[in-house]
């Protein structure tokens, strides 16, 4: 079929009638499918059942230094857990603090500490007239929720396949001292699945911030989340590049096992310069006497080393790869050549980013919901939930079964077609 924009008004009206019939058929199925959030499926969670057997009542519960993990203390985590996540984070263990299950919680706390007490002696952000954050878009909705919660002004920075628009980033960071941070998901980004290019990373590392307390919030959530063995993106390590430029204090790097073991019971870390680590620990001592070291020990005993994590991720990929491929196959079959949408084929991560005709995303998501398919809300991938083009939709294929994914994707493409026809008819 030729592009929808080339159809006459009469052809569009006829097409809409046919699509409404197909849409009603899907509605009558009474489905309840969820592609809203990037949750691991039950099959993925089952991969980590062995985690529950890594420790038992007869286990030695001391870390490698002989410290009893059941007791208080160990503010920055046990040494073997620091070493394990340092391998994933590509930094030395002395630049790591280990926390509980949620990296989002760690990022929230990091912003909260900056708001209340400042960073390394700088003025607390809450005492400043305005604080701004740069937000690559489309991006991760929960990042934006944190900064919105604290009343921080968010500035959209357009994303490309190579990462954020670095001309804009440099202009803001190097010249505006009210810009205190930038959110980044640098590998298999949420939602596009893109990985920042080497040039982009080097330009980040060479920033010359007007604010001495500016920080890059480098959320490397998908560092090991490849879909393929033979097609894997590589990300240049930011902290080493920043050190070359004398900017070692500019980076906060985050990682967690949330989509590796159990999202509700994993471990996470922040990697940063020794100065930053000391600054964080000085404040953290008032927040906690110590983290859950038993769970850290459990993870280390389960994985042993980075090779153990990589082996686990291959099993995850085998489960979710067919789901991604199913969605991409149906998008191609149903929408190719119609010029009513575009999408990116990721090599890893948890999402597929879809861009509709301008002004159609909310309508598509609404139609899908009414047909029994719940998706991430339109606009969620932008600060304040305001997509200026109303076009971006995040597809999360991991949680449903393959059969459910196939049905949901077919419904989605019908909704894309129907919303697009409606939009084009409005313009005729």
Q: What is the pLDDT of residue 371?
A: 97
| Number of helices followed by number of strands (H, E) in the chain | 13, 13
Residue with tokens 């993870």: 299
Q: What is the pTM of this model?
A: 0.96
Q: Give CA–CA dist 78/85, Å, rounded.
A: 11
- Whether 350 and 398 have beta carbons less than 8 Å apart is answered as yes
Give strand ranges (E) for 348-391: 352-356, 373-375
Element (H, E) at 271: strand 268-272
Q: Give CA–CA dist 185/191, Å, rounded.
A: 9
DSSP string, 54-72: SS-TTS--B-TTS-BTTSS
Q: What is the pLDDT of residue 57?
A: 94
Q: Give CA–CA dist 135/328, Å, rounded.
A: 27
Q: Give CA–CA dist 179/173, Å, rounded.
A: 6
Q: What is the pLDDT of residue 1?
A: 79
Q: What is the pLDDT of residue 428?
A: 79
Q: What is the pLDDT of residue 37?
A: 86
Integer Rg of the chain from CA: 23
Domains and CATH numbers, the chain: 4-45+310-427 (3.90.1150.10), 55-305 (3.40.640.10)
Q: Please report, in tens digits, the pLDDT of each residue of the chain (428 residues total).
A: 799 999 999 999 999 999 999 999 999 999 999 898 899 999 999 999 999 999 999 999 999 999 999 999 999 999 999 999 999 999 999 999 999 999 999 999 999 999 999 999 999 999 999 999 999 999 999 999 999 999 999 999 999 999 999 999 999 999 999 999 999 999 999 999 999 999 999 999 999 999 999 999 999 999 999 999 999 999 999 999 999 999 999 999 999 999 999 999 999 999 999 999 999 999 999 999 999 999 999 999 999 999 999 999 999 999 999 999 999 999 999 999 999 999 999 999 999 999 999 999 999 999 999 999 999 999 999 999 999 999 999 999 999 999 999 999 999 999 999 999 999 999 97
């Amino acid at each position: 079929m030729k592009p929808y924009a080339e159809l006459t008004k009469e052809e569009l009206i006829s097409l809409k009638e046919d699509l409404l019939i197909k849409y009603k058929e899907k509605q009558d199925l009474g489905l309840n499918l969820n592609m809203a959030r990037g949750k691991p499926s039950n099959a993925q969670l089952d991969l980590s059942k062995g985690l529950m057997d890594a420790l038992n009542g007869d286990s030695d519960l001391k870390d490698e230094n002989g410290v009893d993990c059941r007791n208080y203390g160990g503010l920055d985590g046990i040494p073997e857990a620091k070493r394990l996540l340092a391998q994933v984070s590509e930094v030395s263990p002395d630049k790591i603090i280990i926390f509980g299950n949620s990296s989002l919680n760690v990022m929230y706390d990091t912003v909260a500490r900056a708001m209340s007490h400042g960073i390394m002696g700088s003025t607390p952000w809450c005492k400043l007239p305005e604080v701004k954050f740069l937000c690559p878009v489309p991006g991760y909705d929960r990042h934006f929720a944190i900064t919105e919660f604290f009343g921080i002004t968010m500035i959209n920075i357009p994303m490309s396949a190579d990462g954020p628009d670095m001309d804009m980033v440099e202009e803001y960071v190097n010249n505006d001292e009210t810009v205190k941070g930038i959110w980044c998901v640098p590998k298999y980004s949420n939602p596009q699945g893109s990985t920042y290019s080497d040039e982009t990373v080097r330009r980040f590392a060479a920033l010359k911030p007007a604010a001495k307390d500016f920080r890059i919030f480098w959320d490397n959530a998908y560092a090991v989340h490849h879909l393929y063995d033979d097609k894997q993106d590589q990300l240049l390590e930011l902290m080493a590049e920043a050190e070359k430029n004398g900017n070692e204090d500019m980076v906060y790097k985050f990682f967690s096992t949330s989509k590796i073991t159990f999202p509700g019971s994993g471990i996470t870390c922040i990697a940063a310069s020794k100065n930053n680590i000391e600054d964080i620990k000085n404040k953290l001592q008032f927040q906690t006497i110590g983290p859950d070291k038993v769970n850290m020990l459990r993870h280390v005993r389960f994985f042993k080393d980075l090779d153990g994590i990589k082996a686990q991720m291959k099993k995850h990929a085998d489960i979710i790869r067919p789901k991604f491929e199913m969605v991409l196959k149906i998008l191609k079959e149903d929408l190719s050549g119609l010029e009513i949408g575009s999408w990116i084929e990721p090599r890893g991560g948890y999402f597929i980013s879809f861009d509709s005709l301008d002004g159609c995303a909310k309508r598509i998501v609404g139609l899908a919901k009414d047909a029994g398919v719940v998706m991430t809300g339109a606009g969620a991938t932008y600060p304040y939930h305001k997509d200026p083009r109303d076009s971006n939709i995040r597809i999360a294929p991991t949680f449903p079964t393959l059969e459910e994914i196939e049905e949901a994707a077919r419904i989605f493409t019908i909704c894309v077609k129907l919303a697009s026809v409606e939009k084009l008819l409005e313009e005729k």
